Structure 1
Amino acid sequence: MMLRSIAPVGHDGEFDDPPRGPALHRVEKPVRTAVLQAISSIQERYFEPITLAELASEVFLSRFHFSRMFADATGLTPGRFLTAVRLFEAKRLLLTTSLNVSDIVCSVGYSSVGTFTSRFSRAVGMTPTQYREPQVAELLVAISPTFQRLPPLRTLRAAGRSCASLQTGTGVLSMQLDLPRGSAPADTLVGLFADPVPQRGPVAFGGMAGMSSGELTIHGVPAGRWTAIAVAQHQPGAGGPRFSIGYQDVTVSPFGQSTARVGLRAPAPTDAPIAITLASHQSPFTQRMLAAQRPHLRAVA
């Protein structure tokens, strides 16, 4: 298949308004329809040089009105949503195909390999090449309307504190998880992230197998304000969703126990896709590179 070079999207200032909390269920039906139409367009054309003006014109709205409506309904600006889709697709191609990085860059809407590699490495904490290490796929958490994946909890426990961005903290967070009504027990993972659409691992996480609605406690949490993302993979053979997710802003104090509550639900079209790995960037690949460089560095010295 021929892959054509794609120019980057829009101007930075167009898409950089701060995100707002999602509230699609509270907006009028015509607004919901317009937002879903714009999301469908992003998902179908993410590899093209889409602009904010084009998205707004497709739903017959001004850029200002469209941006505010989109953020009200999804919690993100159109540009951040587009970036999330592009990075999700880039990660998918890195993990599931043998395409070289330059072809992947073109196929997800960037024209410069250098720019893509720099932005990917800064956001993800790994280079695109490092992201192809087997451990990355083994410890991948993926959330999208069409694809969901949660690694086995025993695999996560074995990973321990090797998470790519796990930090050391003194706080304790007690999360009350409300799973969807009528759903089966689930293997549940809660991660705390600095960004509502994270591209790298959490600052802290905890999990529980076969969990129903109840409490999950996470230790060693750094003090601060984080986005808690709860993911549950439900056992088969019962009603309710097979996979559910919940988001909640939480504040953790440096000492003592903080509390928060999050309700889980089935993934929605307005959820930006997320793919994060709990694998450390200190992968076997990185270690082999350092080992190969050391003799050369000693010789130069």
Structure 2
Amino acid sequence: MEKSVRPAVLQAISSIRERYFEPITLADLASEVFVSRFHFSRMFADATGVTPGRFLAAVRLFEAKRLLLTTSLNVSDIVCSVGYSSVGTFTSRFSNAVGLTPTQYREPQVAELLVAISPNLQRLPPLRTLRAAGHNCASLQPGTGTLAMDLGLPEGSAPADTLVGLFADPVPQCGPVAFSGMAEMRSGELTIPGAPAGRWTAIAVAQHRPGSAGPRFSIGYSTVQVAPSGRSTARIELRAPAQTDAPIAITLASKQSPYTQRMLASQRPHLRSAA
């Protein structure tokens, strides 16, 4: 997959990952790869699915989450380490995106229920931990639809503990509106009950059993439409993580962010009229 991505995009992604703590601008990235800002933005979005600014923000928030969970640095030190100049601005943006304050993010359950995919950190919580937490622990409120996901795991890969979540944002920072998981899964169907009606980004993550020639982790994305009732269907083809994937670190213990609440409200007219 990465062989088909323009070298300019991969170079820009490398710069973002290496210099995310600096005040990088779109003009800076475009000039590094010798193309116009407009052409660079379009090229980058075609390759990654998001704008350069969204990708940079995802890298910064990922690193902030990593530091909150793995170090004892105070929040002001972390703010400086990830490229923000104001603690207040960082705290506001973090809380709005994640649904938890930076301090709340250090609660033990956040780390226990963390799903992380990046070049240097790949993690899926044990499915027994998810079951103990409750199937809808990350949901704002359960929906009435059922989504049957047809999952295609990479060819030659070993069986995998697999998790599929539905998100309001293609680069999620908070927990899914619905999710389901299965241990030792091969290609096949995984059902997500209690899915809210609407259009969502489905993200599948699989942690494969060691000892095969295939990837240790695989990931897949798909835009899905869930009907208000009955059974909806969709398919995701999983693959090894790529450099063009924006990093993901979400906890299934998180509350819904204001953004997800607005998405849910906009997709349920009866809720808007009752508000």
Q: TM-score, normalised by structure 2?
A: 0.90
Q: Report the residue type matching 2:192 in the other structure.
A: I
CA distance in 2, matches of 1:260, 1:205: 14
Per-residue Cα deviation, 1:83-103 (whole angstroms, up to 9, x for no partner): 000000000000000000000
Alignment partner of 1:240 out of 199, 207, 214: 214
Quote how far apart the aligned CAs of 1:146 are: 2.2
Structure 2 CA distance for partners of 1:230 and 1:199, relative to 1, 3 Å: same
- SS of match in other structure, 1:267: coil
Per-residue Cα deviation, 1:199-245 (whole angstroms, up to 9, x for no partner): 00000000000000000011000000000000000001111000000
- State yes or no: 1:130 paired with 2:81: no
**RMSD, aligned CA:** 1.4
- SS of match in other structure, 1:188: strand
Please name the residue that 1:61 is paired with: 35
- State yes or no: 1:111 paired with 2:85: yes
- State yes or no: 1:277 paired with 2:245: no
CA distance in 2, matches of 1:178, 1:132: 35
Quote how far apart the aligned CAs of 1:163 are: 2.7
Q: Report the residue type matching 1:271 in the other structure.
A: D
Structure 2 CA distance for partners of 1:119 and 1:178, relative to 1, 3 Å: same
Structure 2 CA distance for partners of 1:261 and 1:25, relative to 1, 3 Å: farther
Q: Which has the higher contact order (CA 8 A, sep 6+)?
A: 2
Q: Number of residue pairs matched?
A: 256
Please name the residue that 1:38 is paired with: 12
Question: Percent of aligned positions with the same letter in both sequences?
Answer: 84
- Please identify runs of 4+ aligned residues in structure 1 that moved more than 3 A: 23-27
Quote how far apart the aligned CAs of 1:166 are: 4.1
- State yes or no: 1:199 paired with 2:173: yes
- State yes or no: 1:212 paired with 2:186: yes
Matched ranges for 1:170-209 at <5 A: 170-209=144-183
Gaps in structure 2 of 5+ consecutive residues? 257-275
CA distance in 2, matches of 1:24, 1:238: 22
CA distance in 2, matches of 1:164, 1:100: 27
Please name the residue that 1:51 is paired with: 25
Q: Is the 8 A contact 2:2 2:242 kept in 1?
A: no
Quote how far apart the aligned CAs of 1:281 are: 4.6
Matched ranges for 1:149-188 at <5 A: 149-161=123-135, 163-188=137-162
Gaps in structure 1 of 5+ consecutive residues? 1-22, 283-301
- SS of match in other structure, 2:66: helix
Please name the residue that 2:262 is paired with: none
Quote how far apart the aligned CAs of 1:280 are: 4.1
CA distance in 2, matches of 1:235, 1:110: 39
Please name the residue that 2:60 is paired with: 86
Please name the residue that 1:102 is paired with: 76
Q: Is the 8 A contact 1:24 1:74 kept in 2?
A: no
CA distance in 2, matches of 1:231, 1:162: 18
Q: Report the residue type matching 2:164 in the other structure.
A: V
Q: Is the 8 A contact 1:251 1:258 kept in 2?
A: yes
Per-residue Cα deviation, 1:118-176 (whole angstroms, up to 9, x for no partner): 11000000000000011100000001122110000010011115634443100000000
Structure 2 CA distance for partners of 1:164 and 1:126, relative to 1, 3 Å: farther
Question: Max radius of gyration: which structure?
Answer: 1
- SS of match in other structure, 1:79: helix
